[in-house]
């Protein structure tokens, strides 16, 4: 059985489930929004643990789980029946229960492990590791000193600013993501605050954006073409993009696989920018990055590659 850990708005999980059902592969989906409505039976003694999760429609004896697809962290919601002062505690109790159970699944294949995913999301760690595995990165500074940031910008000319975390911001009325943008003259004084880290990188003149999706031993590089006047961050203009499969030098792909291994990951969505001269610069790797739209755009066998990774006995032959 495949255990999918995600939330209800995860379209990639929906997309994958259609293929699992086509192939008759058993699965159990655990969404954060439904965690409070699960029932569970857990028995522990010196001989081990016996545990079962039940939702309204399915049940999962965890001993039968041979793969866990960890898409998104568990953040229980729907605790309205719990007194307000205890909701945070109750949510934490439920999260710790479920996360504590998940690793006890008899040596299941994780895509990707919880701890490795959380560590790998630290972009500073990625930037520190990447050159050790032969990946070129743009000149970068992280500082809260506006004078230091201004000196970096003066040295390198055009620079971009990006979030160090996932860049998600929640207000009372909306959620939005902070994207990468080019820093204009006069911006730096506003960007730098005491004890607030600002990440700047030298802007690499863009020939192409490259998304390299690595699933186990399989690699799927895609070139992303943007309009000349498009934003620096291609994710800001999804309707004006052209995708095409491309090739990358074998040493680059091998080095990315080595970096994944160093991060204890088996899947990663790598972002590169390629200069007009053909130089490749590593930007980041997302251990839970999106991929479904690439299969829809280019008919790449990404779902089948994941199924092969979850459990070799489900080999698709694609």
- Residue 223 contacts residue 209 (beta carbons within 8 Å): yes
pLDDT of residue 264: 95
131-141 pLDDT per residue, tens: 999 999 999 99
Asked if the model's pLDDT at residue 213 lies above 80, the reply is yes
pLDDT of residue 235: 65
Give whole-number Cα distances, 91 to 33, 78, 184, 231, in Å: 11, 9, 43, 39
pTM to 2 decimals? 0.87
Answer whether 3's CB lies under 8 Å from 19's CB.
no
Quote the pLDDT of residue 243: 92
User: 62-76, 86-100, 155-169, 254-268: which range is least confident on average?
Assistant: 155-169
Closest by CA position to 291, among listed 218, 233, 226, 227 = 218
* Mean pLDDT over the full length of the chain: 86
| Most confident by average pLDDT, 43-52, 255-264, 304-313 | 255-264
The string of DSSP letters for the chain reads -EEEEE-TT-HHHHHHHHHHHHHT--EEEEEGGGGGG-EEEEEEETTEEEEEEE-SS-EEEGGG--EEEE-S-------TTS-GGGHHHHHHHHHHHHHHHTT-SSSPEEES-HHHHHHHT-HHHHHHHGGGGT-----EEEES-HHHHHHHHHHHSSEEEE-SS--EEE-SS-EEEPPPEEPPTT-HHHH-BTTB-EEEEEPPPPSEEEEEEEETTEEEEEEEE--TTS-SSGGG-GGG-EEEE----HHHHHHHHHHHHHTT-SEEEEEEEE-TT--EEEEEEETT---HHHHHHH---HHHHHHHHH-GGG----
pLDDT of 318:
45
Of residues 173 and 215, the one with the higher pLDDT is: 215
Report the candidate in 244, 281, 291, 282 with the shortest Cα–Cα distance to residue 260: 282
Question: Which residues on adjacent β-strands are paired with residue 141?
Answer: 200
pLDDT reading at 49 higher than 60: yes
Residue whose token pair is 């590659």:
305
Q: Report whether pLDDT(48) > 90.
A: no
């Amino acid at each position: 059985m495949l255990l999918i850990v995600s939330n209800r708005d995860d379209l990639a999980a929906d997309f994958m489930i259609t293929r699992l059902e086509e192939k008759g592969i058993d699965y159990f989906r655990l969404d954060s929004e439904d965690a409070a409505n699960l029932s569970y039976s857990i028995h522990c003694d010196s001989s081990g643990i016996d545990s079962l999760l039940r939702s309204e429609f399915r049940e999962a004896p965890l001993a039968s789980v041979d793969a866990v697809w960890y898409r998104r962290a568990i953040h229980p919601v729907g605790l309205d029946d719990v007194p307000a002062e205890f909701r945070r505690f109750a949510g934490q109790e439920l999260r710790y229960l479920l996360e504590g159970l998940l690793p006890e699944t008899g040596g299941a294949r994780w895509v990707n492990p919880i701890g490795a995913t959380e560590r790998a999301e630290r972009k500073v760690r990625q930037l520190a590791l990447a050159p050790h595995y032969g990946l070129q990165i743009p000149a970068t500074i992280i500082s809260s000193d506006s004078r230091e940031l201004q000196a970096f910008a003066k040295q390198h000319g055009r620079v971009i600013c990006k979030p160090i975390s996932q860049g998600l911001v929640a207000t009372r009325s909306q959620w939005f993501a902070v994207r990468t943008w080019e820093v204009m003259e006069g911006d730096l004084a506003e960007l730098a605050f005491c004890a607030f880290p600002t990440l700047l990188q030298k802007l690499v003149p863009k020939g192409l954006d490259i998304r390299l999706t690595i699933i186990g031993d399989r690699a799927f590089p895609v070139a992303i073409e943007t309009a000349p006047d498009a934003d620096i961050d291609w994710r800001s203009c999804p309707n004006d993009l052209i995708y095409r499969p491309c090739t990358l030098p074998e040493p680059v792909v091998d080095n990315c696989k080595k970096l994944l291994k160093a991060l204890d990951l088996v899947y990663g969505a790598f972002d590169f920018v390629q200069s007009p001269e053909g130089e490749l610069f590593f930007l980041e790797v997302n251990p839970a990055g999106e991929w479904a739209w690439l299969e829809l755009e280019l008919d790449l066998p990404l779902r089948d590659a994941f199924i092969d990774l979850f459990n070799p006995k489900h080999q698709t032959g694609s």
